[in-house]
Amino acid sequence: MEFSAVQIAELVNGKIEGDSTVCVNTLAKIEEGHIGALSFLANPKYEEFIYTTKSSVCIVNDSFLPSKSLPESLTLIKVEDAYSCFAKLLELYSQISKKKPGIESPVNISESAKLGKDIHVGAFSYIADYTKIGDKVIIYPQVFIGDNVEIGENSIIHPGVKIYNDCKVGKNCIIHAGTIIGADGFGFATDENGIFQKVPQIGNVVIEDNVEIGSNTTIDRATMGSTFIRSGSKIDNLCQIAHNVDFGSNSAMAAQAGIAGSAKIGNRVLIGGQAGISGHLHIADETKIVAQSGIPSTVKKAETLMGSPGIPIEDFKKSYFGFRKLPIILNKIQELEKKINDISTENK
């Protein structure tokens, strides 16, 4: 779809400097611009690229004053906040790019499933018995949705997602490709011979509204009850959330992090990549866990934790400073030992 500079300026309440009739049909980073592309400049460290960019239109802050000549083919749209305006345009572009309502073929949709208005179902998807799909839901190809699953309106389920029986997904959620919701939790008990026996996992996963889950993440169903992902939370790619976890609202978790069973994560908690959180503990609201940290016990008050086991970040920095000086300290100890031995030998 093509937009003129005038149309874009109207959308973002901007002022045009240059050719108001020029049109764009794609978005590009300013350093990778090309004819027909729309870019933006918000960070001053990228200013050098605006003098060589091949983009047709660039959104800049009102305060931007070029220090040298701009390309003749470049039209500027000046706005109060270039970054937020470009984000608005990205959202608009995303909405335009959405799949149109309709059901592709082949698909398997149970006669007992209840489908909302204006939904899209991609080819080779499977929608099982007694499912409830809300209005304007988009289901991409090769998605499996099990018995009794509920998906709220305006949610997007990307290709290859598997949602097991009885799980619930709220409104305005996005689940990216390859994610599995509701597989069995890792529940086993040994018998008198030390042989593992499976503990049936009969709970479900409940994902509340406005949650986004990255690709190839796994969220296990509860042994009993529910595994919860609370409203507004954001989970990155390749994360593991175990059975009966309660992941608080507006919390975020970066890639390759893992949470063991029955842990309770507070609200507005930030978890860095490759962090690990043990089971059956609580993490206080607004805690920050630095990447690759390990949390083995309950965190009772909000603080930033680093290391394994995780300790307050300032304590970690002091400890690490000492750790880095260990070779020097060891050399000094060896020198002292040698001097002591030399003195002992002389006194004999």
If asked whether residues 128 and 247 sit together in one domain, one would say yes
Looking at the structure, do residues 61 and 180 belong to the same domain, yes or no?
A: no
Which residue from 204, 206, 131, 208 is spatially nearest to 171, judged by alpha carbons?
208
Banded model confidence at residue 1, pLDDT cuts 50, 70, 90: confident
The residue whose two tokens read 């270039």 is 82
pLDDT band at 343 (very low <50, low <70, confident <90, very high): confident
Residues 122 and 66 in one domain: no
Q: What is the mean pLDDT of residues 324-333?
A: 87
Query: Are both 65 and 141 inside the same structural domain?
Result: no
What per-residue confidence (pLDDT) applies to 303?
96
To the query of whether residue 282 is one of the catalytic residues in this protein, the response is: no
Summarize pLDDT for 261-276 with one digit per residue, the tens.
999 999 999 999 999 9
Instruction: Name residues whose C-beta falls within 8 Å of residue 237's C-beta, 6 or more positions apart in sequence.
Output: 176, 214, 215, 216, 217, 255
C-alpha distances out from residue 1 to 11, 23, 28, 94, Å: 15, 10, 15, 12
Mean pLDDT of 79-90: 89
Same domain, 76 and 11: yes
pLDDT tens-digit readout, 189-206:
999 999 999 999 999 999
Q: 81 and 197 share a domain?
A: no
pTM of the model: 0.82
Average pLDDT, the chain: 94
Model confidence at 88: pLDDT above 90: no
Catalytic residue among 34, 158, 243, 280: 243
Task: Identify the residue with better confidence: 171 or 1.
Answer: 171
Are residues 308 and 332 located together in one domain of the fold?
no
Residue 128, pLDDT > 80, answer: yes
DSSP 3-state of 194? coil
162 and 25 inside one domain: no
Q: At which of 97, 113, 145 does a domain end?
A: 97
What is the percent of the chain where pLDDT is above 90? 82
Residue 20, judged by CB atoms within 10 A of its CB (0-12, 13-18, 19+), counts as middle
Q: Which of 15, 20, 9, 29 is nearest to 75 (CA)?
A: 20
How high is the pLDDT of residue 348? 66
Cα dihedral across residues 238, 240, 241, 247: positive or negative: negative
Check whether residue 232 and residue 113 sit in a common domain. Answer: yes
Number of domain units in the chain: 3
- Write the CATH number for 85: 3.40.1390.10
Quick one: 51 and 133 in the same domain? Answer: no
Q: Residue 342 has what pLDDT? A: 80
Check whether residue 325 and residue 298 sit in a common domain. no
Of 97, 112, 129, the last residue of a domain is 97
Query: How far is it, in rounded angstroms, from Cα 231 to Cα 216?
Result: 20
Binning pLDDT at 50, 70 and 90, where does residue 321 land?
Answer: confident
Give 216-273 pLDDT, tens digit per residue: 999 999 999 999 999 999 999 999 999 999 999 999 999 999 999 999 999 999 999 9
| Tens digit of each residue's pLDDT (9 = 90 or more) over 3-20 | 999 999 999 999 999 999
User: Which amino acid, residue 233?
Assistant: S
Residue 116's pLDDT is what? 97
Domain limits for position 111: 102-314
Question: Is the same domain home to 267 and 163?
Answer: yes
The percent of residues above 70 in pLDDT, for the chain, comes to 100
> Which CATH number belongs to the domain containing residue 296 in this structure?
2.160.10.10
pLDDT of res. 345: 79
